[in-house]
Amino acid sequence: MKKLINDPGAVVADALAGVAAVHGDTLSVHRDPDYVTRADAPVAGKVAIVSGGGAGHEPLHTGFVGPGMLDAAAPGAIFTSPSVAQIYEAASAVATDAGVLFVVKNYTGDRLNFMMAAEMLAATGVPTASVLVNDDVAVEDSTHTAGRRGTGATLFVEKLAGAAAEAGAPLDEVKRIAEKVVENGRSMGLALTSSIVPHVVTPNFDIGEDEVEMVVGIHGEPGRNRTALVPASELVATLTDAVSTDLPFASGDRVLALTNGLGGTPLIELYVVAGELAAYCDARGITIERSLVGSYITSLEMAGCTITLVKADDELLELWDAPVSTAALRW
């Protein structure tokens, strides 16, 4: 194992120190407990959006803190849910009278800890609401979940709900937008290699040079099955068949698309995947209105990708195009 780290047990702390050094003008990094907020938080009269999860998926969620997206993020240890204290302190730091929306990926630890933190915050008189992201079409239950996992649609929930909140929408409206994205978003992924947790040293799973792990989890959970390594066009078709038939997506639909790298996949390969996804959708009369390509929800150094489609309308497209200014996403 070769990694650019100091101490395997201090990777998250050292990374947060780096975030503070680079983005200290726009972000505030808090320690003990660890969380990150917008530098201008709390923003009076605005619904605050709070998310978080295990580290190792960067830029999710810390990289999405800023105007037009999240107000705060709580990073746990690598592949480990943030504590109740982290989530509660993060939310308390950004809460306003307009309320707080918690964006929660469907992993058991996240669900439990965010629920407890939300109850604690509500007990102080702050209006709260939560939305559960569960867009992974391939797995109903896995190592970390009961039900479908939360994956690529998380980015769209945070961006679109964040835009609504930035525009001054009330809590119930921001929650409606977030739930609309969850209802209309589907994802699936594959891995060519495993991730390696720094303090564990060994890969989460072994895979041959000529094998592909289908429907892999972002915590390094093994997938549902393995297949032979075939051309990207065939792999993309397998992923997108599953995604498009689940909602389903049909001819005439307009979509937002994410071709997401899992940490170790070169951008040139992601654009190969994005091109195949575009061809797939075009052949079926599905219009990709907006497309995002890059490594946004990762699993350390895992080579692989996920594909996410969100059925879009004019409302969601307007929110997608609204300004955003975060470390990882800005326009």
Report the C-alpha gap between 11 and 168 in whole angstroms. Answer: 37
209 CB neighbour count, 10 Å cutoff: 7
Active-site residue, from 23, 61, 144, 219: 219
By the 10 Å C-beta count (0-12 exposed, 13-18 middle, 19+ buried), 202 is classed as: exposed
Contacts of 251 (CB under 8 A, 6+ apart): 284, 285, 286
Report the C-alpha gap between 117 and 92 in whole angstroms. Answer: 10
- Whether 57 is a known active-site residue: answer yes
Q: For 170-175, which contacts have Cβ atoms below 8 Å and span 24 or more sequence positions?
A: 170/47, 170/98, 170/99, 171/47, 171/98, 171/99, 171/100, 171/101, 171/127, 171/129, 172/129, 174/47, 174/49, 174/101, 174/129, 175/101, 175/129, 175/131
- Whether 219 is a known active-site residue: answer yes
Active-site residue, from 23, 30, 57, 61: 57
Cβ pair 259, 292 in contact under 8 A: yes
Catalytic (active-site) positions: 57, 219
